[in-house]
Structure 1
Amino acid sequence: MNAMMRRAVIATAAVSMALSMAACGKAGDDKKSSDKAGDTKSIGLLLPENASSTRYESFDKPFIEAKVAALCPDCKVKYSNAEGSASKQKQQFDTLIAEGVKVIILDAFDAKSTQSWVKEAADKGVKVVAYDRLATGPVAAYVSFDNQKVGELQGQALVEALGAKAADANVVMINGDEADPNAALFKSGAHKVLDGKVKKVVYEASGEWKPTVAGQKIGTAITSLGKDGFQAVYSANDGMAAAIITQLKSSGINVPVGGQDAGIDAIQRIVAGDQAYTIYKAYKPLADSAGELAVNLLQGKDVKSIASSTIDSDTDKGIPAKLLEPKVVNKANVQSTVIADGLYKVADICTGDYAAACAAAGLK
């Protein structure tokens, strides 16, 4: 091969290599561009637990999925449940971000622990909708019920259940998990009503949203106060109320017990006379609002038409918020609340053991 031919071969090889490198560079740029764009068709949904309440799997998840599908038919909801573990929820959150999800609906198991990860998400352009309880960190929007009002309704319903005996009644309070900011609001609202209307709160402890813990705590109260040492029990939710009622029955104690969440088993206990009341927080409007907020954020739209008020967290001010109104459910208004709203059918509530009680309550 002469010198001229060698130079031609080298030149051809150089051009070929340059074109190959350019092609590789372009492919890499496309991947980086795609990674940066993220997943614009998926919304993350992280719910906190499934042990103390059946509502998350039965109502919140399917309602949110249905609303997202209605507003964005080609969108997908990527769902995980923390099963009562803050560390597991953090892993689920990180996985969603790694997958490029740009909007996450987060019902934090431990709202106080979320500040750093919500901030990290925000720094990466990921919007977080705080659902049901207010997470710390720069969340883009918040939807829940007026949780101070929930506590007030719980307290008032317990006073009404005691009737004329309220002024002389000692009350046991089994509160929610102290890591949950909603639990503090429920407790504060309940005290606002109970303090001054009952004789005294004689025992108070956290049931940690765990029925087994609540059962243990009411057992301690019975041991320390005696069977006649209290006349009513405030339970922050229905799951704990179920365990409390079981423990009271086994000890031969019959006093009013209230709860929250309007689970179907709680409605059955109310009809049967075992539970005095629950608090009905209509899941569908809550879930629908979360779905609307998430889709708006995913599509770059303003959320203030949905979240028209604001709220402050421990870390951030002026968070766009939508707060819904809770309702008390007792035996007198089961028909006009959870049945009228289509949450449950009479046939769902009035199964075997509850048929006679339903008939006596006039449910039809």
Structure 2
Amino acid sequence: MKLQRKSGLRALAVGAAALSGALVLTACGSDNNSGSSSPSGQASNNAAGNIKCGGKGNLLASGSTAQKNAMDVWVKNYMQSCTGTQINYKATGSGAGVTEFLQGSTAFAGSDSALKPEEVAKSKSVCKGGEAIDLPMVGGPIAVGYNVPGVDNLVLDAPTLAKIFDSKITKWDAPEIKKLNPNAKLPSTSIQAFHRSDESGTTDNFTKYLKGAAPADWSYSGGKAWQAKGGQSAPQSSGVASQVKQTAGAIGYFELSYATASNIPTVKIATGAAAPVEASSDAASKAIADAKITGTGNDLALKLNYATKTDGAYPIVLVTYEIACDKGNKPETLDATKAFLSYLASDDGQKGLSGQGYAPLPAEIATKVRTAVSALS
């Protein structure tokens, strides 16, 4: 088990302001590029966007669907500048992505949860002479979307959400919901609660929130696999969002980007702060500011404070990590991996996206990530 060290992320507010506070959520296509290749291991500056290219050939990665919309833009921008590199990121879900990485099938993985100790131990067979590390790359809110005709300003709290997703509250006009929404015309419609059918870091973080903020009402241990009883399931965040969009009485959890793209209303969370908090990039940034670094060395795993009561802080957040070997990366993909991940953590990578939904890395953490990436070998 890794020894823990803690470091406050109080620089987030400044960093977020400097980086405009919001990153893109539109899923741009990853266009194929052709052209001259940069020599392996030789970096070249691209004046437009200041992207440093490195390596050549194909770079395979998979994992988190939470970061897919950002990754689509990153991949497109990078390949337009670095025409010698073909990047293929498959949004298969955090669990599948980590599994593929640990099998040696990909250069890096995207995960909405830091690696477990047993996963780090297993990575040593893939990372020859080293082990896998967690590199935070982007944060953002997990929205709770709903489809309740006639209700457009829904407020819920952690205990009520826990009961809804554990099939203990089954009607939209339940007393607990009425109490939080005294002016809403709540129907007697049955609640259709949707969760992820695949292993997911989004599920992990959502259930960590329920366990951290409503321990008396959420008795499950949590993890990437859904554990609660009842409800309905759908694969990946896009699947859950689609089901909520088309099902009257539905509620589900997914990254804010999916709610924005599909015009799905989202729940405001009553946290004990002065007012209920709506899911937004800025509100997520305020919650992530309470995070602590728990990794050691170049591992930058974070512990989030899901029970925050800070005014304006949206508590259901996740941070997406890129999982890579600190040592023992495959020689044929090392240079490209370092160059691409360096771009993601750069100022241009963090602020070079438009729209709303993701929260940029704090300046303090972005610097640490760039240092860790430069040390990959």
TM-score (norm 1): 0.37
TM-score (norm 2): 0.36
Specify which structure has the bigger relative contact order, considering alpha-carbon pairs within 8 angstroms and separated by 6 or more residues.
Answer: 2
Higher helix share: 1
